[in-house]
């Protein structure tokens, strides 16, 4: 399984974003967290910042939309050129229509589950998606502790993907670090978001390489 490491710029210095992302050129994707103060109790950034960021980097953009009404707002990120757009199923009204819309606009379509949202009701949606994101913290903030009670859900999700013979990716986000990434990989995740574990140290690029090595086993 190919391992991908996606640094979350939520833990970067927003006033120096271009310099920060230049430090992680070895990343597979840049993970960009959009929060709207409604779906989660925090507010980050939106389309104008994402468009500027795209001009400052060649690394593809992995959007994570923690917002209400993604049916309305998510397609614009695909239109702007984000390579992957993740919406939360808890907030979406018509997730199949939305996933098809994202794909039609040229993005990989991805759906996220909050920690208390089970995967099983969404089994039939899997073929509509290019990635599933299993949150391993309550979304809203960086630097939280990894919820290891999510490991069985990661494992069950990987089994469902295999059962349907799908090639889709399985992303984990929240508390992913050198301490927890091997557990996630062993459970079946192959795309790893890390914010504080990458940007809180002195060498973000080296942190990406280290995480990649641990996840690859």
Q: Does 62 engage in binding with Zn ion (CB under 5 A)?
A: no
Strand ordering across the sheet containing 4-7: 4-7, 191-194, 169-173, 131-135, 108-113, 84-88, 61-66, 30-35
Residue 110 CB, nearest distance to ligand DX5 (Å)? 13
Phi, psi of 32 (to 5 degrees): -120, 115
When the beta carbons of 78 and 112 are compared against ligand DX5, the nearer one is 112
> Of the candidates 23, 173, 192, 197, which one interacts with Zn ion according to CB under 5 A?
173
Distances (CA, A) of 119 to 47, 152, 159: 29, 11, 11
173 is catalytic: yes
Residue 14 tokens read as: 């927003």
Q: Does 64 engage in binding with Zn ion (CB under 5 A)?
A: yes
106 is in an annotated binding site: no
Local structure of 169: helix, strand or coil: strand
- Residue identified by tokens 């990716």 is 169
Residue 94 tokens read as: 């018509």
62 is catalytic: no
Residue nearest to ligand DX5 (CB): 195
Classify burial at 76, counting beta carbons within 10 Å of its beta carbon; exposed 0-12, middle 13-18, buried 19 or more: middle
Q: Which does 197 bind (CB under 5 to 8 A by kind): Zn ion, ligand DX5, none?
A: ligand DX5
> Which residues lie near ligand DX5 (CB under 6 A)?
8, 10-11, 31, 33, 64, 137, 139-144, 173-176, 193-197
Annotated catalytic residue, options 28, 130, 173, 190: 173
Q: Which residues are annotated as a binding site for substrate?
A: 8, 64, 140-143, 173-175, 195-196
Q: Which residues are annotated as a binding site for a divalent metal cation?
A: 31, 33, 64, 173
Would you tell me which residues interact with Zn ion (CB under 5 A)? 33, 64, 173
- Residues known to be catalytic: 33, 173
């Amino acid at each position: 399984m190919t391992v991908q490491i996606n640094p979350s710029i939520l833990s970067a210095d927003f006033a120096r974003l271009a310099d920060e992302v230049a430090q992680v050129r070895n990343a597979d994707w840049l993970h960009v967290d959009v929060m709207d103060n409604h779906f989660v109790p925090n507010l980050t950034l939106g389309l104008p910042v994402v468009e500027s960021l795209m001009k400052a980097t060649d690394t593809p953009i992995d959007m994570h939309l923690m917002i209400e009404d993604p049916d309305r707002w998510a397609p614009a990120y695909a239109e702007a050129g984000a390579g992957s757009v993740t919406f939360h199923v808890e907030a979406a009204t018509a997730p199949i229509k939305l996933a098809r819309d994202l794909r039609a606009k040229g993005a990989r379509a991805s759906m996220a589950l909050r920690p208390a949202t089970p995967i099983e009701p969404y089994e039939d949606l899997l073929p509509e998606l290019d990635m599933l994101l299993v949150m391993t913290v309550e979304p809203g903030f960086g630097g939280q502790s990894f919820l290891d009670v999510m490991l069985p859900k990661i494992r069950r999700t990987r089994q469902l993907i295999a059962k349907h013979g799908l090639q889709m990716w399985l992303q984990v986000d929240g508390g992913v670090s050198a301490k927890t990434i091997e557990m996630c990989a062993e459970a079946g995740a192959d795309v790893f978001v890390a914010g504080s574990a990458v940007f809180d140290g002195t060498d973000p690029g080296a942190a990406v390489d280290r995480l990649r090595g641990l996840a690859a086993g």
